[in-house]
Every structure is written in structure tokens, then in C-alpha cells.
Amino acid sequence: MAIIEFKGLTKAYKDVIAVKDLTASIEAGRITGFLGPNGAGKSTALRCLLSLATPTSGSALIRGAGYAELENPMKEVGAVIESGGFNQSLSGLKNLKIIAASAGIPDHRALEVLELVDLMDARNKRVKQYSLGMKQRLSLATALLGEPEILILDEPANGLDPIGIAWLREFLKKLARNGHSILISSHQLAEMQNTVDDVLIIHKGRLITQGTMSDVVGTGTLEEAFIRLVEATS
Amino acid sequence: MNLIKSEFRKLVYPRSFYGYLAGAVFIALISSIPAAFSVNSLKSRLDGTSLMDPQLVAGIYGKAISGYLFVMILGIAIIGNEYQNGQAISTFLATPKRIKVLYAKLVIAAGAGVFLMVVSTLLGFIGAYFGLHHYPHAKTSPTVFLNLMIAAIVSGAVIAVMGVSIGALIRNMKIAQAGSIIWLSIVEKLIVVFWASGGKYLPSGLILGMMNININLKSTQKLFSISTSDYFQPAVCIVLLLVYAAIFAAVGSWVSLRRDID
């Protein structure tokens, strides 16, 4: 069953077309990698999906509705768009309490998610004192505040060290085992091959291919398949 | 109520809010207390006017309302911080119906503006009182206090709403704040002092009008006074300020609803 759908999504900024007629669907209960080179249009498509940007045409739907039409978005969808979305002068805990309040989530949930992402000891530190990895984990904590079934993560491994990447991989696998549906964008292909079930690749704003990891990769690696597909469409 | 709670936390958690409050109090005090001393020392040059004139005394108390500059800066910061820190993403992910977020911000900004203005004006008034209490003849009407507090409440709410709207229009918070400071503290003041027929329509002129203080001094002495003889009646000023707030809020909302979040 498709839980996320892009239907002819196009997004243009003045003369630049960031996403062109993207049609794809994401299945429930799986980890789907949303892959493409830098500037392929992944983030733009995700911003349209999360109602942060308005599509020029087409639509991006979650359970058949636009994100802005969801009854309580944070309790249905958790999203990580970038690690900088916090007030740097406030502690991680205070940042989470602000976000929790806006969705009617009780304050104690902020402590629970900080525990989940191993940030309990740093909860009262200012965010500007956090490392990049800690900020990424705080973003994940934000996404988990509403205990959503669907997670949409835009480059969550960006800037993480190998230990951070390993932590993230295990964390996502644990979430998937618990029945979460996860859409994760990345250009770190080797890492994605170890993490995701399904693959959706875009290049220059257009869909190149979509399928299970084994369908797309065949006998080689994801990186080989990716380069072959991208070069074929360049 | 959830959004109001969230926006309230965004307001009071950062230390900057207390900085804006301190700034408003400071500017109210340095405007009112020295005025009490300087006007009395200048009485020989005031064309016979002195602290015997209740309207001039009222004018000194009127200086206590000067803190609205910091209310404007606060209003801009309330929305400017969203874009500056990238907080807008988490805000609009939690509440994608942006108009609700903007309404909550306007409510919180108006409340914070009133709070800043009431506290700073009250302390400025007390400062002026202590500045004047050496001069037993410096008496004024009790309605001055009432007018001043009404002006503080209305201007606090309106200026803060204008600040939020300006912050929504101009994404660079520092430019928005610097531009507003220059406009309010220099450009508007000059217009209000030297071109009353035009100045009376500006927020500063309307705030002066609300205080209902009438002093007639020679033009060379106007810098030392507040005179509303050329301005609208207080009720008209309140209505016009609320119209300003409504227009700014509408424009700010329109822009916010149409903007993509980077």
C-alpha cells in the first residue's frame, strides 16, 4: 500500500526547474532511499511533500492528503529537513519543549526522545555547543516527538563521523522493525545499500528508476547502478 | 492554545527578551529623568513657561513612553528569529497551517509589546516623578497618567504587531531592525517635530496624540517639548493606530503564506 505519493510533481524557481513531473510512490512499512546527486531535486521534492514549498504543478501526498491537511501532522509524520532548525542559544531540551508545545505533546515526551537518541546528558547544553552529530540526533528527536508512524529524513547522515553513521543505521533499522515507514534522502550510496529496502533515484529533477534494492542494483553495487543510470540520462 | 504556549516559550526562554525589556526601561528612564532636570534649568529660556505649567510637566511625564523603539525591535525578532535560526522549518512542520502560526505570533507579540510598554512607561513615569519631586510647584493633572498608560498599552500592541509584519516582509532581521530604528528614532521624529500636518498620521505622531498634551512653545524650543495641539484627538489616534496594525498584519500574513521555507 502506497503511503507517500508524488503525482506529476513539478517545482520551478523562476527559470530553474528543480523537480520535473515526478511520479513515484513509497510503500508502507519499508525503508525507502531517495537518492540522487547533489542538486538532483531531492530536498525540493521533500519540501513540497512537507508543505514547506508550494508545487508549481502536481502534488505530493501522505496517506492521500497534503501534509498541511493532516489532522495532527507531528503525530503522523516525523521529519528531519536540516540540522540547523533550532534556536542555537537555547538548550536541546528547551528547543524540544517549544516544538512539543505547538503540537500539544506533553513535556515529558521531550525527555523520552532525548533518551532515545542518547542526548540525555547534553539536554541542558546550548545547541550551539552541540557537535554536528548531536544536532542531527536532536533533529531525529524532534521527528520522534509525536511518535509518528512515518519518518521523512533529508540527508540525516550528512556530516556524521563513522560512529555516528553506524549509530544512525542501527537506529533506523530498529525503527523499521517497530513498523515505521521511512523515506530517507541521501547521496551516500554505500551507506544506503546497507540500510534501505527500496530505492528511488532522481537526477536533474526527473525520476530515473524506482524499485527494490535488488531490482535496481542487480549483481553489482548501488554505486555502480547509480552511476550507470545517471550517465544514461545525462 | 498549543501554539500560544509554544510561541510564549519562544519569547521567554531566550535571554534576549529580558534584554529588550531592559532596553525599553533604560530608554524610558533616560528620556524622562533628564528631561525633568533640563526643562527646569532651561525655564528662563522657555519664553516664560516653566514647571509651573502643568502641560509642560505632563510633557516631561510623556517622555516615559519612549520605550516603543524596543517593542518594534522585539516584534521583528519574534518572526526574524524563525528565519535567522532556521526555526521556521520546525515551526511549520509542527503547524503547517501558517496562518495559525502567524496569528499566534501576533497575539504573543501584542501581549509582549503591552508588557514592555507598561513596565517601561511606568518606571519612566516614576523616574520623572522623582526627577520632579524637588520642584513642589511641578504639578499636573491626574489624567496624564491615565492617558500615558492608555497610550503605552495601545502603542505596545500596535508597534509589536507592526514589528512582526516588518519581520515577515524583510527576511534579514538585522536590516529590518536597523531600518526600523533609523525610521522611528530619526526620520519619524524629524517629521513629527518639523511637519506636524504630515507627522500626525505617522505612528509616532499618533502615539503623541494619544497623550493629549498641549504645549505651545516657539518652534526653536520644540525639541524640548511634546505638544499635541496639532495632532488628532486620542480616540482618533487609537483608531488610526489600530488601522495601522490591521494593515501591517494583513500584509505580513499575505507574504508569509506565499513564501517557501528555505
Mean pLDDT of B95-119: 92
Alpha helices in B85-142 (DSSP H): 87-94, 98-132
In a domain, B130, yes or no: no
> Residue B138 falls within a domain, yes or no?
no
pTM above 0.90, yes or no: no
Cβ pairs A/B, distance under 8 A: 81
Q: Residue A140 is placed in which grid cell?
A: 531525529
Q: How far apart are CA A22 and CA A69, in angstroms?
A: 21
- The answer to whether residue B42 is domain-embedded is no
CB contact under 8 A, B87 and A67: no
In single-letter form, the type of residue at position B76 comes to: I
Collect all residues of chain B within an 8 Å Cβ-Cβ radius of residue A103. 2, 94-95
In 3-state terms, what secondary structure has residue A223?
helix
Contact A101 B6 (CB under 8 A): yes
CB A198 within 8 A of CB A213: yes
| Residue at A145: amino acid letter | L
Sequence-distant (6+) residues with CB within 8 A of B65 are B28, B117, B121, B124, B148, B151, B152, B155, B207, B211
Is residue A152 less than 8 Å (CB to CB) from chain B? no
Q: Is B93 on the interface with A (CB under 8 A)?
A: yes
Q: Is residue B50 part of a domain?
A: no
What is the residue whose three cell numbers read 503605552?
B152
Chain B residues in contact with A88 by the CB 8 A cut-off are 85
Contact A98 B13 (CB under 8 A): yes
Q: Is the complex ipTM higher than 0.90?
A: no
Which residues does chain A have within 8 Å of residue B103's beta carbon, measured at their own beta carbons? Answer: none
Cβ partners under 8 Å of residue B71, min gap 6? B20, B24, B112, B113, B116, B117, B155, B156, B159, B160, B163
Q: Does some domain include residue B40?
A: no
Contacts of B89 in chain A (CB under 8 A): 52, 81-82, 85
Measured CA to CA, the distance from residue B172 to residue B189 in angstroms comes to 25
- A39–B contact, CB cutoff 8 A: no
Beta bridge partners of A12: A17
Burial A31-59 (b: 16+ CB within 10 A, else e): bbbbbbbeebbbbbbbbbbbbbbebeebe
The pLDDT of residue B220 is above 50: no
What would the mean pLDDT of A108-130 be, rounded to a whole number?
93
B86 close contact with A: CB closer than 8 A: yes
**pLDDT tens digits, residue range A177-191?**
888 899 999 888 888
Q: For residue A30, with 0-12 CB atoms within 10 Å meaning exposed, 13-18 middle and 19 or more buried, which class applies?
A: middle
- Relative to beta strand A16-27, strand A31-35 is unpaired
Q: Region B162-187: what's the mean pLDDT?
A: 89
User: Considering only residues 121 to 150 of chain A, which have any Cβ-Cβ distance to chain B shorter than 8 Å?
Assistant: 142
- The yes-or-no verdict on residue B223 having pLDDT over 70 is no
What the block records as the C-alpha cell of A145 is 516527538
Q: Cell digits for B206?
A: 499618533
Residue at B169 is within a domain: yes
Residue B19, number of CB atoms within 10 A of its CB: 14
pLDDT digits (tens, 9 = 90+) for B125-138: 998 888 887 777 77
Residue B35 lies in a domain: no
Q: Let me know: does A113 contact A105? Beta carbons within 8 Å.
A: no
Could you tell me the residue range of the domain that residue B165 belongs to?
2-29+64-120+143-258
For testing the chain A interface, which of B89, B93, B98 should be mutated: the one with the most A CBs within 10 Å?
A: B93
Query: What is the tally of structural domains in chain B?
Result: 1
Give the dihedral of Cα atoms A36, A41, A43, A45; nearest 10 deg.
-110
The least confident of A23-37, A79-93, A120-134 is A79-93
**Does residue A175 have a pLDDT over 90?**
no
Residue B222, pLDDT > 80, answer no
**B192 belongs to a structural domain:** yes
